[in-house]
Structure 1
């Protein structure tokens, strides 16, 4: 009798305890070996479409699929630094699975070194054209996202193969010197510091907040470790506070913010690229992926918390159907008129973010599996360089190849 009472008391105690937290990060239910097979197939297709040798090195041909490059680049664009950073990062991440990755990485490194920004070496001129030269009218300015990904790729390459440490350190030093605001936020590029009326000097792009990269740079052991940690903490503070103030119910962030250092706020319409600069659009879509990398690499609770809010909202907003995810959202979750749905770019980035769950274990796993399955149904022919490349990067992350 006493044993029965003890068991009953223990059961009551267990029922009163909070449910155990989800084991994060989550992964798709498909066995990893099968995911890797799918990744290998898509990697081969991506390389065939976009990775080119020439112009004294190798580069990601943003129109390699025959589709026009957009995003403000010049006519007859060959590539942009954003694409170059993605390509270098993907090569070092896929090195265990692609015996040609090291050789191609070295060719991409050569192209990077051959195209320094006008402000000096260490940063890359953001746009090259078919004649293998930097594009006119600003093509020799830098873009922070490309430089940050190149810096991370070089650091990873040095850890894997050796011999890249000096260049990696010089890129990190150049970024801190020429692409960071005085209050410790990423600038849009080297040009923003000296724009004529100061419009862009106090601005930042959500997709340039790369906390996992900043943590890796801080751990590299050089004299700038503290600055990278401060950049990471400042970014979490600013983007998190902005999201709470302007997107409390969604967790979204805008493509761009302005008002640094004292009054960070979403930018107005047509601030830099178009009507939805102050919305969650084609730049901010990378924010969930960037946070997911930090969760995967460092386990930072700030990444998990912000992603949980995003995951709860997007699962409900889409009705659990990834193909209903829109290509732009206002910060309150409304969809502007004339938006497409079912973009591989957006599905991929939300799939990466879904690894953080939302506190509902069963629903979270089902949602991640649904996103993964939807991603695999979209053929490369239906997407462009941007969609296919973000799909590739998310697949690498979801296959735990980071």
Structure 2
């Protein structure tokens, strides 16, 4: 507890500095952008498709199975759709085709409303262009949130998406948020067991800050969700991961006793560990640090960055695919996954207390990540790699201008 308090105090002192001077790979930005452009072209060629009345991210476009409980005949999932829409609007200043392709993705989104109503997307579509049976018509909160952010950013850039964004954010607040201002797992998570649960990767403080500033009548609700998330996930990390800063894929016990989920709450043995969902938590915090300079993001990231750099002895290829919250690696884990490298690379923009070691670490992460061939990964690893590269190249925070 003392260690975390000291880190927080240090970050409060340097909050303005961190906001103005995030750490980036030392490779010149022009070279980082060239690498991004090359990977972006490869990613689009592999995963972005037109059809089914619009455009979508084909999660098996590389010939590999889509995981995460989706149908065996999956075409796409709402998580992928949100990532694709965000990537297109963020890459618009470098890709003349982005606007038209975004419009295609917006059309696909509109054609696949969740069964609960407009504004949320059915989470799983199959190759017959229909929502998957047995639950595919329900929503997934991460896809809903990323799509809403993309719609808002597209409206600022091109116009024409403001009403869609407003419908989406109001639907999220109505059907994806608990009475205690935490994100549900989706619009379906309302029974006693799941109503007390939340997913760490659905905590998106930078998005909540954008929504708060964009919507006067709903601003206070988005601010409350952002503050509540920082408090709860910070408490989980302090109580269960004081030395590492890690958080679990899922928590239970809301609102009185939040704690890591037991195995197999929803997806598998790692549900209470830092695994394939929680790996996105550091990236979400890094975006908040980058865009708002929030000291809470800085404090949490500093702890994570110091721990993972030391745990791997500065070698990114030693990063494992799952960690217990105390930093131990469960049995049968692999290393070197692009998904995990990407999310720790994004987190590294906050640094820690040792600038020289931090610079070597983020450089090593960038080179290791960009050296992984697209063919060696699946949709998930390649897409998280793309999103991290957009951030680490400086493209995420690029000021977009209207292209009318």
Same fold (TM over 0.5): yes
Task: State the secondary structure of the residue aligned to 2:96.
Answer: coil
Contact 1:147 1:175 in 2 (8 A): yes
Q: 1:239 aligns with which of 211, 220, 233?
A: 233
**CA distance in 2 between partners of 1:19 and 1:93 (Å):** 28
* Residue equivalent to 2:250: 256
2:22 matched to which residue of 1?
Answer: 25
CA distance in 2, matches of 1:180, 1:137: 23
Match of 2:287 in 1: 293
Choose the corresponding residue for 1:107, options 104, 107, 117. 104
Gaps of 5+ in 2: 1-12, 397-404
SS of equivalent to 1:53: strand
Q: Which blocks of at least 5 consecutive residues in structure 1 are unaligned?
A: 1-17
Partner of 2:82: 85
Deviation at 1:19, TM superposition (A): 11
What residue is the counterpart of 2:183 in the other structure? 186
Alignment of 1:2-401 (within 5 A): 24-193=21-190, 195=191, 198-401=192-395
Q: Distance in 2 between matches of 1:24 and 1:305?
A: 16
Q: Matches of 1:365 and 1:200 in 2, distance apart?
A: 41
Q: Tell me which structure has the larger Cα radius of gyration.
A: 1
Secondary structure of 2:188's match?
Answer: helix
Aligned-pair CA distance for 1:25: 1.3
Aligned partners of 2:341 and 2:25: how far apart in 1? 14
| Aligned equivalents of 2:325, 2:262: Cα separation in 1 | 13
Distance 1:119 1:365, change over 3 A: same
Quick check: 270-279 or 24-33, which moved more? 24-33
The 2-side partners of 1:254 and 1:25 are apart by: 26
Task: Please tell me whether the aligned partners of residues 253 and 280 of structure 1 are also in contact (alpha carbons under 8 angstroms).
Answer: yes
Q: Say if 1:24 and 1:355, in contact at 8 Å, map to a contact too.
A: no
Query: Could you say which residue in structure 2 is the equivalent of 1:8?
Result: none
Shift of the 125–19 alpha-carbon distance from structure 1 to 2, 3 Å rule, reads: closer
Deviation (angstroms), 1:24: 3.5
Q: Deviations over 1:277-327 (max 9, x none)?
A: 000000000001000000111010100110000000000111110000000
Are 1:24 and 1:356, in contact at CA under 8 Å, matched by a contact in 2?
no
TM (norm. structure 2) is 0.93
Instruction: Tell me the distance in 2 between the aligned counterparts of 1:288 and 1:29.
Output: 21
How many residue pairs match? The answer is 382
SS of the residue aligned with 2:189?
helix
Write the distance in 2 (CA, Å) between the matches of 1:93 and 1:385.
19
Equivalent residue for 2:9? none
Deviation, structure 1 residue 164: 0.6
Cα displacement (A) at 1:359: 1.6
Cα–Cα, structure 1 residues 52 and 19, in superposed 2: closer, same or farther, change >3 Å? closer
Instruction: Return the offset for 1:167.
Output: 0.5
Q: Check the 8 A contact 1:252/1:331 in 2, yes or no.
A: yes
Give the Cα–Cα distance (whole angstroms) in 2 for the partners of residues 306 and 250 of structure 1: 9
1:4 maps to which residue?
none
CA RMSD of aligned residues (A): 1.2
The CA deviation string for residues 352-382 of structure 1, in whole angstroms up to 9 with x for no partner, is 0000001211111110011001001100000
- Aligned pair in 2 of structure 1 residues 121, 19: CA closer, same or farther (>3 Å)? closer
Query: How many angstroms apart in 1 are the aligned matches of 2:297 and 2:391?
Result: 15
Conserved 8 A contact 1:144-1:189: yes
